[in-house]
Amino acid sequence: MGEKTNYVLSFLEFSGFFAPVAFILFHIVRQFLFIPAVIVCLAGGLLFGSVFGSLYSLIGLTISSFLIYFLLKLFPSVHNRLHQIKLKWFGPYTNLTHGQIALLKLIPFMHYQLLSYCLLERNKNFQDYAVGSLYTNIPVVIFYTVFGQFFNSFTPTMAVIFLIALSVLIVVLREKFVVIKWKDFFKATS
């Protein structure tokens, strides 16, 4: 396994311009291969260093988010499926803020396309979605690219503390009011 990894790393080191383009394309394709974005960001830090790995990962994740936007507009069945997952995970009245989405993207096992769907619900037009997507991708890219080298040394206790801290921040950054339609309110109480 170590020999294969060294071969891939040496190939990417000496491939020049092709390596960043291949890495960005891999970011775009990774969502169809069910590879978490976190793993690809960690690999970007390992292959290209903190600065260029963050830049390439940000470009790849942002293009990937744009692709999700157009796929959700093009395929209503995927849109409906993500809506059902959102209802099951977050409930019918949850409207995640940009800060909550950015923090949820930091949790490695979160459904990335679901978070993009939540961002789409918040920003209906493409321009607002694109800006929101870029801003919510920045924390995950920087965190996992720059600090990826320390995750090998994380103990289970440190990982639990990290997840608890993220959970507290998600609650603090929540929207402070919920709008419930009149008919839904009385249907639930009767």
Report how far apart, in Å, the C-alpha atoms of 99 and of each of 4, 138, 172 are.
Answer: 39, 11, 10
DSSP state of 141: H
DSSP state of 91: -
Structural contact between residues 61 and 137, judged by C-beta atoms closer than 8 angstroms: yes
**At a CB cut-off of 8 Å and minimum separation 6, what does 54 contact?**
44, 45, 141, 142, 145, 146
pLDDT recorded at residue 4: 55
Q: Which residues of the chain have pLDDT under 50?
A: 1
- Runs of H (alpha helix) within the chain: 2-13, 18-29, 37-74, 76-90, 98-106, 112-122, 126-146, 156-172, 182-189
pLDDT recorded at residue 175: 63
The single-letter code of the amino acid at 155 is T
**Alpha carbons 145 and 52: distance in angstroms, whole number:** 9
String of b and e for 97-118 (b: at least 16 CB within 10 Å)? bbbbbbbbbbeeebebbbbbbb
pLDDT recorded at residue 5: 54
Task: Convert the pLDDT of each residue in 13-59 to its tens digit.
Answer: 666 678 888 888 888 888 888 788 887 887 888 778 788 888 999 99
pTM of this prediction exceeds 0.75 = no
**Alpha carbons 170 and 101: distance in angstroms, whole number:** 8
